[in-house]
Amino acid sequence: MDWEILYYSDEVQETISAWPVGIRAYYARITERMCTFGPNLGMPFTDSLGQGLFEIRARGKEGIGRAFFCTLMERKILILHAYIKKSQKIPVRELEVARKRLTEVQQRGGKWP
């Protein structure tokens, strides 16, 4: 049984849709693999940020995109937040948004919506 990708909100999906084409294409390849093989692809595709939060590491000639995600019951992957990376470290604000949304999902018992 394959995994399913869900989005926290339409806004998250629209953010990713607005990424430059090269980054978006790489993101699509990663998420296709995640649907087939599960979310734990490892570096350089995905990485754990601890406490149930993970990131998709999409890059293209235009730059680097990051999408934070968690896993849900019944083989679902929820994309919590996404942004275009502009510095070495994850900006605190971006991480705070993802962690807040992760907490919300965990309080719902790992089900969405």
The domains of the chain are located at 4-107
Task: Report in angstroms the alpha-carbon separations of 51 from 14, 48, 54, 69, 103.
Answer: 26, 8, 9, 11, 10
pLDDT of 108: 87
Domain spanning 4-107, CATH architecture: 2-Layer Sandwich (3.30)
For the segment 5-27, the average pLDDT, to the nearest whole number, is 97
Please determine, for residue 113, whether its predicted confidence score (pLDDT) is greater than 80. no
Q: Dihedral of CA 96/100/102/103: which sign?
A: positive
Orientation of helix 21-37 relative to helix 10-17, angle to 10°: 130
pTM, full prediction? 0.94
